[in-house]
Amino acid sequence: MTKHPTGIYVGCLVKVIRRRLRMELKGRVINYSPFVLQHP
């Protein structure tokens, strides 16, 4: 199985997108937690 450059590029893109999504989710949770604590 030989990896094509495009395949490696797509793999890197997926990793970056996943990392960015995870960061956004963490940020939303941090911004949301006081809201949830105030309104149970």
Q: 11-21: per-residue pLDDT in tens?
A: 999 999 999 99
What are the residue boundaries of the structural domains of the chain, listed by start?
16-40
* 16/9 Cα distance (integer angstroms): 11
* 19/13 Cα distance (integer angstroms): 10
Ordered alpha helix ranges (H), the chain: 5-38
What pLDDT is recorded for position 18? 94
Regarding pTM above 0.75, the answer is: no
The b/e string for 21-35 (b: 16+ C-beta within 10 A; e otherwise) is eeeeeeeeeeeeeee
* 31/15 Cα distance (integer angstroms): 24
Residues in contact with 40: Cβ distance below 8 Å, sequence separation at least 6, in sequence order: none
What pLDDT is recorded for position 2? 66
pLDDT in tens, 1-40: 566 778 888 899 999 999 999 988 887 777 766 666 665 5
